[in-house]
Structure formats: structure tokens, C-alpha cells
A and B are shown apart, each in its own frame.
Chain A
């Protein structure tokens, strides 16, 4: 948290020095401040701020990529005339995520990715039940995709 403040202060200083108070200069200041902190991170970075921010952005990028990929798949199937040939199913996913924040984040991101919709969490919070549109390649394939894709990346952000 303190490093986040430092990052904002560095961005503000950059805006003052460059003399133009626009959103663009502030964003550039944020990026430059982040690079400065990354440069000296071995000395001051006790909470792994640099790693966390980087992982957060890779998570966002990964999510946008998945969003487009699966949106096109769903769009193709919806627009294709004739009977639907895909196989759907309700699948239990064993959770490595433990805290409420991690589970909520995972459930929301699963819901936002087309083709999967989170339905329920077991009472002991050990399993997440999702409805998947494409189970053609088997239940294990869907499970592995979510565990090694979305869940691993979320845990990298929250536990880095």
C-alpha cells in the first residue's frame, strides 16, 4: 500500500515537472513511477508490489483474450443454422482458492467468460459448481482449463 502511494506521488511529481495537467501525463507518470519502483524493488519492495501489479495486468490481459476467444465461439454456434450439436453440463470444480475474495473473484470471472457460468458453491467452500456450454472434450478438460488458467492466475495475484 505504501508503495502504491509512492507510485502516485511519483506520478504527481512527473505531472508537475512536465507542466501539463492532463490524464495522459498522469498515466505516463504512473508507468514511469512503476518502472522506478521496479528498478529499486530489491531494496524497498517487501510486499511484492511490483510482482502483484504485473500479475494483475497479466490477469486482465488473459481475461480479455479469453473473453474474445470464447465470445466468437459462442457467436459462431448461435448464428449457425440447424440443430445444436454441443454438449453442456454442470461440473464441480475443486477449489484451491480459500478466502471469500478469491472465490468471489474466480466465480465472477468464470461467469463473465462465455461458455461457463458459476451456479453454486458447496457449503464447505471446497467446490464451485459451474454450468459449461462445451463439455465435448470431457469433464476433466473443462476442469483443467479453469484450474490451470483462471484460478492459477487469480491466486498468483492474491498470494504473490
Chain B
């Protein structure tokens, strides 16, 4: 019985990893691709680990599985956020199906995106420009 359950979970997990791979190739722009890889990847890896825990049913294995899932859930969104933000920041093209972009306006009005590091560098540059004059 356990074998059947873990087999099904394993297959569903593998399916989501496959979806992540296909989505990475098929989806139209970088931000959409980030959706496929981080989420479907997380769910797929999580389900495969769950199947492993089901198969062995050992305390040591379960503890390791839980720890691994926790670390995937902790790190995946941070990586996705950083890649997505830096890609947006350097101005990648969004596909034609993008109907609203409220962040662009915020960047223009200076409400967001003023990275402290960038600000410091910009000020340093303006100071050195003043000295030249």
C-alpha cells in the first residue's frame, strides 16, 4: 500500500519537474520563466522528497527530508526574487501580453528602486563632477 502511495507521489513530483523544464523553454519572457522554474521546481522536489520519506519511514530519513524541504522553501523564493528584481532593474523586455506595469511608474517617480548602494555611487559621481567644474 505504501509503495503505491509513494509511487504516485513520486510520479506527480517528476511531472512537476518536467513542467518546470518545459516552461523554462516555452514561456515568453524571463519573469514568466522564473514562475515555472522556482515554483514547479519547488513543488516537484518537495513531492519527490516526500515519496522518499514514505518509502523508508525511518526517523533519520524523515528528519533529513523535513530539513531539506524547509531549506528549499527558505532559499528558492529569495533566489527568484533577486534574479527577477535585478533583471527588471536592468530593463529586460516584457512580452506583449503584459497589460500593466505599475513598477515602471514607481521607478520613474523615484518611489522605489533606489538601492542604497546605487544612491551612494550616484552621489559620489555627482560630487566628483562638481569638483571638475
On A, residues with C-beta under 8 Å from B are 22-23, 67-68, 70-71, 74-75, 78-79, 84, 86-92, 107-109, 111-115, 117-124, 127, 129, 131, 133, 135, 139
Contacts and interface: CB of A to CB of B under 8 A. Distances in A.
Contact of B103 (A22, A84, A120, A124): A120
A100 B52 CA distance: 36
14 contacts: A23-B63, A74-B36, A79-B22, A87-B99, A88-B32, A88-B97, A90-B100, A112-B38, A117-B31, A117-B84, A118-B77, A118-B84, A129-B103, A135-B99
Contacts of B19: 74-75, 78-79
A78 B100 contact: no
A127 B42 CA distance: 27
A123 B114 contact: yes
Contact of B31 (A68, A87, A131): A131
Contacts of B98: 87-90
A130 B41 CA distance: 20
B56 interface: no
A107 B84 contact: no
B11 interface: no
Contacts of A84: 27-28, 97
Contact of A113 (B39, B99, B104): B39
Nearest to B29: A88
A40 B40 CA distance: 43
B101 interface: yes
B102 interface: yes
A121 B112 contact: yes
